[in-house]
Amino acid sequence: MNWLLLSRMLGLLGMLVGASMVFSLPWAFPICGQTPEFEERGFWGLVFAILASLTVSGTLYVIGRRTDATILRKEALAVVGLGWIFAGILGSLPFLFSGTEHELYAGTENAKIVRLSIADCLFESVSGFTTTGASVLTELEDPRVKNPETTDRKLIPRCILFWRSFTHWLGGMGIIVLFVAVLGQLGAGGKALMRREVPGPITETVRPRVRETAIVMWAIYMGISVLLTVLLYFEGMNFYDALCHCFGTMATGGFSTYNASVGEWKDHPWIEVTIILFMLVAGTNFSLYYLCLRSKSHEQEGSLLKRFSPLYRDPEFRAYLVILLSSTFLLTFSLMKNHVYPTLAESIRHASFMSVAIMTTTGFGTEDFTKWSEFSKGLLLLLMFIGGCAGSTGGGMKVVRFLFFAKIIRLEIEQAFRPNVVRPLKIFGVSVDKSLRHEVVVYFSLILLIFISSWMTLAAIEPDTQWIKSAGETAEQLQDDKAEKLLDCASAVASCLNNIGPGLGVLGPHSNYSGFSSQGKLLLTALMLLGRLELFAILVLLFPSFWRDQ
């Protein structure tokens, strides 16, 4: 391991993260009303976080500045894995230095206001960068304020909430991809870095030079983000909320500036429709958008249908749409059957929003789906594991892996009764070698192993008293409470490992993770990183042999 090279790369990455905090500073001064004291704390918390980030990162850069070694396989893995951990630590400093507060045990007689702990700050930061959207913050705005036009409703500093949402946007396309786009001297090492961060088993570059690829991907990402912000603004959001919800939508993260999330605009159906469409866009492979822009871009060269042919010809995109349409239909049927909503139109509206929000791993909420039928909740849990397309900002296991897995199972079943037939495994019309087939099977196995072991670990370290509703419960009621704990822990692990955010039970769309212990939050934080970097870039850091020279 080249430690000097690692120090230089982490220093540069840390300075990029620290510098990005500057964009949050102007929001410390609300347009309406006077600047509350906690806004000033938020401003100075950000200032101290910027100074601390630049100091630590600058020191790392100075230590390794004289090395000109090339980034190889080991260094690429280490920079990606440690880089995301380092970014999460630096990103937690604004929460820590601003003294951000939240309510513990909200809605109970034991409710109390406390400052975020170190574990809370790290959880919130990593949740933002990994686009998970899980939160420990409770009341984001004051429900007692009756006239938000003249009085600021926020209970959390606006600049801190902006930074919280901005971490989504930075992590959506990838801080390493941004790193490669900004720095031009990485050479072949940039390709090694991007290969380790771009999600999915197939990582095609859309241009021969990796820095150009990174710039193109970020340009597309920024262009779509600008369009979404403008639309949300003209549909009824103010500029601040439009930006923050654009960040959450395009990064498929789900952080909102309101307790009710997108439900705050339930009287503006076009806002919901717009967010649904852009969540679909964000969950699609961004390489396809570049191919659409490049192919037949002039009218005389072909029709509009030909221009978008890379999208509808892509098997993963077609499967992605089929799964979403099928789940929306099944959810609508379940909602109508159980008379959850009075009309078919309302059932379709909420079913489509939650299907897209959960499968793309955005996690925005308009309704409390924990009150839906058990079938509906089970279907949403399955969508959590599927996730978006490879090369998108979405989390989960990716649609393409399920396509692979289905083909592998089919070939294995055929081999059972036709052992002499050798049939190649094809995806996207191209035969793939056995190494990719092996990688997909290993990935599924590791996800299952990590899910089960983390589920049991979380259930063991979380005290049962968190789930006991009253002191005088019967033995049967206590058993029900423990069953709820087991389901809630499973939901928390599935949600964080697949970068979803909300879960079932106590982790519904209007609840959060504040009730978990510090140890539990640190475990869930690690799961977010594992899910975002697709296991290997984090798991290799645990092997002592990885750090040896030979």
DSSP string, 339-375: T-SSSHHHHHHHHHHHHHHHHTT----SS-GGGS-HH
Q: Which has more confidence, 435 or 203?
A: 435
pLDDT digits (tens, 9 = 90+) for 94-128: 999 988 877 665 555 556 677 888 999 999 999 99
User: What DSSP string describes 207-263?
Assistant: SSSHHHHHHHHHHHHHHHHHHHHHHHHHTT--HHHHHHHHHHHHTT----SSTTGGG
Separation of alpha carbons 80 and 192, rounded Å? 10
* Angle ∠(522,124,497) on CA atoms, nearest 5: 55
Task: Report residue 24's pLDDT band, with 50, 70 and 90 as the boundaries.
Answer: very high
Q: Locate the domains of the chain by residue range.
A: 1-197
pTM here is 0.88
Residue 204 CB-density burial (10 A; 0-12 exposed, 13-18 middle, 19+ buried):
middle
- What's the CA gap between 42 and 98, in Å, rounded? 5
Residue 207 pLDDT exceeds 60 = no
Residue 477 has pLDDT above 80, yes or no: no
Q: What is the pLDDT of residue 300?
A: 45
Query: What value does the CA radius of gyration of the chain take, rounded to a whole number of Å?
Result: 23
Chain-centroid distance, C-alpha 353: 17
pLDDT surpassing 50 at residue 447: yes
> How wide is the angle at C-alpha 264 spanned by C-alphas 262 and 265, nearest 5°?
80
- Lowest-pLDDT choice from 163-167, 204-208, 462-466: 204-208
pLDDT at 276 over 90: yes
pLDDT tens for 282-331 read: 999 888 888 887 765 444 445 666 777 778 888 889 999 999 999 999 99
pLDDT of residue 151: 43
The closest alpha carbon to 360, from 277, 301, 424, 478, belongs to 277
Rounded CA separation 415/395 (Å): 33
Largest CA distance in the chain: 79
- Residue 146: predicted pLDDT: 42
What is the pairing mode between strands 426-427 and 112-115? unpaired
| pLDDT confidence of residue 156 | 82
**What digits encode the pLDDT tens for the residues 363-417?**
887 777 878 888 988 898 888 888 888 888 888 888 888 888 888 888 888 888 8
| pLDDT at position 185 over 60 | no
